């Protein structure tokens, strides 16, 4: 069976940037924890599933940072896919939007 290639361009969603920034895994296939820690400037990541294929990789401890910066774009995307979270929770800090096969 041929291996399926994922062609989705991952993006870094930074609360301090006006536009999402394209990023790529170092090996060209999937992000590894050390590079995620560097890209997200964190020590612990969490995955927020948006759809069957798309995920947000976030700083799991982002809400405990001083100062904590609300990520409006990541929160908006999450709320679009999971309306029950609206008004109850938000994503804080950097996030990476990518295909679920790009994180192993």
pTM: 0.90
Distance CA 46, CA 58 (A): 5
Q: CA angle, corner 82, sides to 79 and 88, nearest 5?
A: 65
Count of Cβ atoms closer than 10 Å to residue 1 Cβ: 3
Which band of pLDDT confidence, cut at 50, 70 and 90, is reported for residue 5? low
Express each pLDDT in 8-48 by its tens digit. 899 999 999 999 999 999 999 999 999 999 999 999 999 99
Distance CA 20, CA 1 (A): 35
**Alpha-carbon dihedral angle through residues 21, 26, 62, 90, given to the nearest 10 degrees:** 50
Is the pLDDT reported for residue 93 higher than 50?
yes
Count of Cβ atoms closer than 10 Å to residue 41 Cβ: 12
């Amino acid at each position: 069976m041929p291996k399926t290639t994922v062609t989705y361009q991952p993006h870094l969603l930074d609360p301090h940037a006006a536009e999402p920034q394209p990023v790529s895994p170092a090996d060209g296939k999937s992000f590894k924890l050390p590079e995620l820690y560097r890209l997200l400037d964190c020590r612990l990541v969490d995955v927020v599933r948006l759809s069957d294929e798309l995920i947000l990789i976030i700083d799991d401890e982002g809400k405990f940072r001083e100062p904590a910066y609300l990520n409006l774009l990541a929160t908006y995307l999450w709320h679009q896919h999971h309306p029950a979270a609206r008004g109850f929770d938000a994503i804080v800090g950097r996030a990476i939007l990518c295909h679920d096969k790009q994180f192993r």
